[in-house]
Amino acid sequence: MQRLQQKLTQKQILAPRQIMLAKLLQLNIVNLEQKILNELETNPVLEEIGNEDNVSPATEETDNDSLDISFEADSPEPTTLFQYSPDQKEFPQQYQLDFIEELVNQLDIYDLTGTEHMIAEEILWNLDDRGYFTVDIALIADRLNVSEANVEKVLNFVQHLEPVGIASRDLRECLLLQIEDKPDTIAYRIIDRYLEDFSNKRYEVLQRKLGCTTDELSEAMDVIKQLNPRPGEGKIISRDEVVVPDLIVRERDGDWSIQTYDSGLPELRLSPDYMGLLEESAQLSTDARKYLKEQTDSANWFIEAIKQRRNTLIRVMKAIIDKQPQFFSGDTKDLHPMKLQDIADEIEMDISTISRSTRGKYVDTSFGIFELKSFFTESAQKDDGETISTNIIKQVLKDIIDSENKKKPLNDEKLAEKLKAVGYNVARRTVAKYREQLNYPVARLRREIK
């Protein structure tokens, strides 16, 4: 016989306007325009202001008085933003199609509870460029007021979305997820227990530990090589398509002018006709009055979310400028170590909001067009204890590889020794990671006969 039980639980439910803001914040300027057009089609209460009434959003002042940002209403729209050619030095970076939104859409296929869906979205919006989940589970649990066990359960679910292995916490977990249906194979054992030996091509050691033949090891290697170590790599748009920046940054009289490049977007308002009907609601049926009220609320939230999106992007951009003064002074190779959490703490917003604000968003500066997430870089320590950006080490590594003897290229161990000689004590495995990020192959593939 079933017993009735009362259970007191605490849940966090996002308000509709918060959900709408989160969804708009993750869109770049191109997708935002499409979203606005779709909303105009589906919500009769929403209408576009005519050109004679339109005020350019790009010069609209923010409501946040704490922002020390220059806005000039009479400043002309930039006319040379997109007059680039492949021959120019500062060719715009090509837009990498963001895959997060596609993953979020996959969630709708499954029968998730509201809380599970919210946790899954929070996980997805905290993935790095490789598609790895690098945030502590406790932080997600604390933010959403759920148990760590619930987050772990949803994380396991997310890891089985397409592509399998997304949101893994490290390479081993990523590869194991893709081969979990073959737990008794040599390939699985290699990944589970001897991944470091495999990465360093210690084949004789592997054969001895696994007790397998050369042919069996070769077959296992073929299986592993077919797995995807970076499931987060997105689709690339062709070089013929030009990035449209969301922000424009210019220095004027020693101050920074930060504008949102959205003057071409439709400016929205509530339809006076429908507002008149709502005021005379006594003449409407109950269903009509309810429908009109719902659409009015939705339209109001949508307009407010667009304004908040604009203000959030500006606040994030201002914080980035404050954290990277050398870069915006003209030394574009000098980036300070900076994490998403640093900006989140600076402007007192959640890290997932910063992730949404920087992913797939571009800023047009006097030095070229850059993706916002490119301003974030990891830190490393020199032998003298000084903390520097890993970008500096990568640049030194690039110079070493470019100047090496191509007949006898340096392996990762030799590269690590070269870096150590100039004050950068970097492990061989870290050198291999940096080399791959710089798109340099291993030493034997860099060798030239001439």
CATH number, residue 401? 1.10.10.60
Beta bridge partners of 381: 387
Whether residues 339 and 261 share a domain: the answer is yes
DSSP string, 194-261: -HHHHHTT-HHHHHHHHT--HHHHHHHHHHHHTS-S-TT--EE--TTS----SEEEEEETTEEEEEES
Q: Are residues 389 and 291 in the same domain?
A: no
pLDDT score recorded for residue 233: 66
79, burial (CB in 10 Å: exposed 0-12, middle 13-18, buried 19+): exposed
Answer whether residue 168 is part of any domain. Answer: no
Burial 394-415 (b: 16+ CB within 10 A, else e): bebbeebbeebeeeebbbbebb
Q: Residue 240: is its pLDDT beyond 50?
A: no
Q: Are strands 268-270 and 368-371 parallel, antiparallel or unpaired?
A: unpaired
pTM over 0.75: no
Highest mean pLDDT among 26-35, 137-146, 175-184, 281-290: 175-184
> What does the pLDDT average to over 400-405?
91
385 and 370 in a single domain? The answer is no
Q: How far apart are CA 283 and CA 105, in angstroms?
A: 41
Distance (Å, whole) CA 40 – CA 74: 29
302 and 201 fall within a common domain:
no
> Which residue, 374, 391, 418, sits at the end of a domain?
374
Nearest alpha carbon to residue 398 among 423, 418, 428, 379: 418
Structure tokens at 119: 């946790």
Question: Between 100-107 and 114-124, two packed helices, what is the crossing angle to 10 degrees?
Answer: 170
Amino acid at 249: V
pLDDT at 178: 94
| Integer Cα distance of 334 and 390 in angstroms | 10
Could you tell me which residue, 288 or 175, shows the higher pLDDT?
175
Structural domain includes residue 234: no
Lookup: tokens for 448: 């030239």
Say whether pLDDT at 177 is over 90.
Answer: yes
Pair 260, 321 in one domain: yes
Give Cα separations from 432 to 56, 269, 441 (angstroms): 49, 54, 9
Token output for 397: 């590594």
Number of domains into which the chain is organized: 4
Range of the domain at 428: 379-446
Separation CA 265–CA 260 (nearest Å): 11
| pLDDT band for position 357 (cuts 50, 70, 90) | confident
Clarify whether residues 149 and 108 are in a common domain: yes
Same domain, 82 and 144: no
Closest to 381 (Cα-Cα) out of 427, 320, 322, 437: 427
Using left for φ > 0, alpha for ψ between -120 and 50, and beta otherwise, residue 124 falls in alpha
23 is written with which tokens?
Answer: 């969804």
Same domain? 325 vs 359: yes
Residue 38 has pLDDT above 80, yes or no: yes
Highest mean pLDDT out of 144-148, 152-156, 347-351, 373-377: 152-156
Is pLDDT of 401 > 70? yes
Question: Is 2 among the domain residues?
Answer: no
How many whole angstroms separate alpha carbon 353 and alpha carbon 125?
9
**Confidence band for 285, pLDDT divided at 50, 70 and 90:** confident
Distances 40 to 21, 36, 267 between C-alpha atoms, Å? 17, 6, 11
Q: Is residue 172 part of a domain?
A: no
Q: Is residue 344 included in any domain, yes or no? A: yes
Residue 268 parent element (H or E): strand 268-270
Assign residue 131 the CATH number of its domain.
1.10.10
The answer as to whether 69 is a domain residue is yes
